[in-house]
Amino acid sequence: MAAAATATILELDPSHERAGRVIEDIVRLERRIFPKHESLARSLHDELQRRNSGLIYLTSSAAGDDGDEVVGYAMYTCPTTLCATITKLAVKESRRRQGHGEALLNAAVERCRRRRVQRVSLHVDPARTAAVALYRKAGFQVDATIEGYYAPRRNAYRMYIDL
């Protein structure tokens, strides 16, 4: 019988004693999930230093575990009150289809809403059908198709939701 797990969404506090371990876990997930040219693994520390940026992450711990496991994360930036951007949303492959992506997306949008942002946008590869479905379910609409966004012949949908 599997132990019951609890999931918690937290905002990264770089001064917290566990921040280094959390960042290491996120870098490992970045390397596993995204192609090298799309990964923020090398620049994550710089991204976290950017003004008006935020990173939330979801941890899960099963009864009897020593520590929390980072199972997903979302990065966003709110440079103006007009528009924010969700720059990353990822969930560990073995933990997908359990509502974690939806919870992270909703939490990121809510943080933008608290900053009185009017629109949240993001880019997604149309071939990532599960991600596109998640964003549509949350109310995001396709604004445009950006040709060659990720690579030659690899486009992106630019999606948005008005708050």
Query: In terms of pTM, does the model score above 0.85?
Result: no
Residue 39: which pLDDT band, with cuts at 50, 70 and 90?
low
Q: Over the chain, what is the mean pLDDT?
A: 84
Main-chain dihedrals φ then ψ at residue 153, nearest 5 degrees? 65, 20
Per-residue pLDDT, 24:
86
Grouping H, G, I as helix, E, B as strand and the rest as coil, residue 36 is helix
Gap between the Cα atoms of 15 and 58, Å rounded: 18
Q: Give me the domain span that covers residue 151.
A: 5-162
State the DSSP H helix or E strand holding residue 119, giving kind and residue range, or none if neither. strand 119-124
Of 104, 45, 48, 47, the C-alpha closest to 72 is 104
Instruction: Report pLDDT digits (tens) over 48-83.
Output: 667 788 899 998 765 444 457 889 999 999 988 899
Report the CATH number at residue 83. 3.40.630.30
Overall domain count for the chain: 1
Instruction: Report pLDDT digits (tens) over 117-161.
Output: 999 999 999 999 999 999 999 999 999 999 999 889 999 999 999
- For residues 139 and 18, the model is more confident at 139
What is the separation of C-alpha 44 from the centre of its chain, rounded to a whole number of angstroms? 13
